[in-house]
Amino acid sequence: MKKNILAVSLVLGTSLWFTGCSDSSEVTDNNQKMVKETKQAKSDQTHYNLGKSYFENGEYEDALQEDFKQLEVDLQFYKEKGSAISLDYNNIGLDYDELKDYKNALLYYEKAMEIDERILAKNDAERATTYYNVACVYDSLSHYAQALKFYFKALSIDKIALGETHEEVLSTYMDIAKVYEKTEKTKLALIYYKKVLEIREKLFGENDMDTISLRDQIEDLEQTLR
């Protein structure tokens, strides 16, 4: 699956680089949001840049090494464990996630989450990113109750921070729908697939190929309930 990397500028002057847990067609694979920061402070960004390049080329072991080196630089540079360190933890978690080392991925996402909950506003989109990452790990581990818990945490923030029809909201609705479908809760899955369809039609139009595919998927699911 080809990942689409997006940049979101925040009030604090940082940038988050991420990919959605669902792919651009909103239909199949799960991949975590990739969190990368361009810091305005003076810490050396050499390892960050190398890690980002390795990650984008699918060289996750090398990316992990560089992200750990960046973490070491930032821990020495910044006096407190703040946003910069949280984003380093997220990057390391993402590397482990792509390597399917879910135990360590979760460990570093939770380190990021601990910082986020201490320093960020309740509805800061950066917190939603971390919650989403945690949800995706639980999803990959088939721990669906925990996955839903954190998908909904991310969703509640993104709806406020980004708006009801933002693509990130659409992606999270899709992931929630998939979890309900995997757990054979078809009626709940349909509720969230229809939310995705409504947003897709607004953003991309009724004749968009992925929108049409989703509409067909919904019809097939509805048939199973008859």
The boundaries of the domain holding residue 71 are 6-224
In the predicted model, is pLDDT for residue 61 greater than 70? yes
In a domain, 63, yes or no: yes
What's the confidence (pLDDT) of residue 167? 95
Return the H-helix or E-strand segment holding 16. Answer: strand 15-18
Q: Evaluate whether 34 touches 20 at the Cβ level (below 8 Å).
A: no
What are 166-225's pLDDT values in tens digits? 999 999 999 999 999 999 999 999 999 999 999 999 999 999 999 999 999 999 999 999
Lowest mean pLDDT segment, chosen from 40-44, 61-65, 160-164, 187-191: 40-44
In the predicted model, is pLDDT for residue 36 greater than 50? no
In a domain, 48, yes or no: yes
Q: Around Cβ 226, how many Cβ atoms within 10 Å?
A: 4
What's the confidence (pLDDT) of residue 226? 87
Which is higher by pLDDT, 157 or 17?
Answer: 157
Q: Around Cβ 65, how many Cβ atoms within 10 Å?
A: 16
Closest residue by Cα to residue 176 from 153, 201, 206: 153
In a domain, 145, yes or no: yes
Closest residue by Cα to residue 12 from 33, 43, 38, 31: 38
Binned at pLDDT 50, 70 and 90, residue 42 comes out as: low
What's the confidence (pLDDT) of residue 43? 85
- Stated length of the chain: 226
In a domain, 85, yes or no: yes
Is the pTM higher than 0.85? The answer reads no
**Residue 210 belongs to domain with CATH number:** 1.25.40.10
Domain count, the chain: 1
In a domain, 157, yes or no: yes
In a domain, 135, yes or no: yes
Q: What is the mean pLDDT of the chain?
A: 86
DSSP string covering 120-139, please? S-TT-HHHHHHHHHHHHHHH
Residue type, 110: E
In a domain, 1, yes or no: no
What are 80-117's pLDDT values in tens digits? 889 899 999 999 999 999 999 999 999 999 999 999 99
| Radius of gyration from C-alpha coordinates of the chain | 18
What's the confidence (pLDDT) of residue 80? 82
What's the confidence (pLDDT) of residue 16? 40
**How far apart (Å, rounded) are the C-alpha atoms in residues 202 and 184?**
28
What's the confidence (pLDDT) of residue 41? 53
Q: Evaluate whether 134 touches 113 at the Cβ level (below 8 Å).
A: yes
Q: How far is CA 160 from CA 13, 123, 157, 222, in A?
A: 20, 7, 5, 31
In a domain, 139, yes or no: yes
